[in-house]
Amino acid sequence: MTIDFKNNRIFHFDQDLNLTEHKPISTEFKEIEVLSNGRILIVENYHEYDNDGKSNLYCINQQMEIEWFLPYPNKNPDSMDNYVGFTTNGDKVFANTFSCYRVEIDTLKGQIKDTKFTK
């Protein structure tokens, strides 16, 4: 697998040399990390991100298929509080939103385990 930030793409050749690739959904890649389970965690630039109410933090598998979009911590559908980045600490993954929420992520299920307001 190759991550090409300059050209905004992630691509992978399988054992038969078939190419699969993933490009940003709405903006450009801001942060990418390959997790210990082989999945790829992606956050796209939050500014002007638009994906029919789905968040800008999502996970893809080695076949470049989207596994899940992380839900927003705020349940208000009019408040799409996009993610500004994430951090990893061993097997724990945390993400921060524009309006100061920090969430712990269940990377297998694509769900929020815990939410804290940090401001």
Mind listing the pLDDT tens digit for each residue in 2-11? Answer: 999 999 999 9
CB proximity list for 68: less than 8 A, separation 6 or greater: 58, 59, 109, 110
Which is more confident, 119 or 45? Answer: 45
Taking 80 as the threshold, does the pLDDT of residue 87 lie above it? yes
Distance separating alpha carbons of residues 90 and 54, to the nearest angstrom: 27
Q: Over pLDDT 70: what percentage of the chain? A: 97
pTM for this entry: 0.92
Distance separating alpha carbons of residues 94 and 54, to the nearest angstrom: 18
Phi-psi group of 63: left, alpha or beta (phi > 0 → left; psi -120 to 50 → alpha; rest → beta): alpha
Q: How many CB atoms lie within 10 A of CB 56?
A: 25
Q: Tell me which DSSP letter residue 24 carries.
A: -
Q: What does the chain come to in residues?
A: 119
Which is more confident, 111 or 37? Answer: 111
Mean of the per-residue pLDDT values of the chain: 93
**pLDDT single digits (tens) 93-114:** 999 999 999 999 999 999 999 9
Q: Are 10 and 2 in contact (CB under 8 A)?
A: yes
Q: What is the mean pLDDT of residues 15-37?
A: 94
Distance separating alpha carbons of residues 12 and 115, to the nearest angstrom: 34
Going 98 to 79 to 54 to 6, the CA torsion angle's sign is negative
Q: How many CB atoms lie within 10 A of CB 54?
A: 18
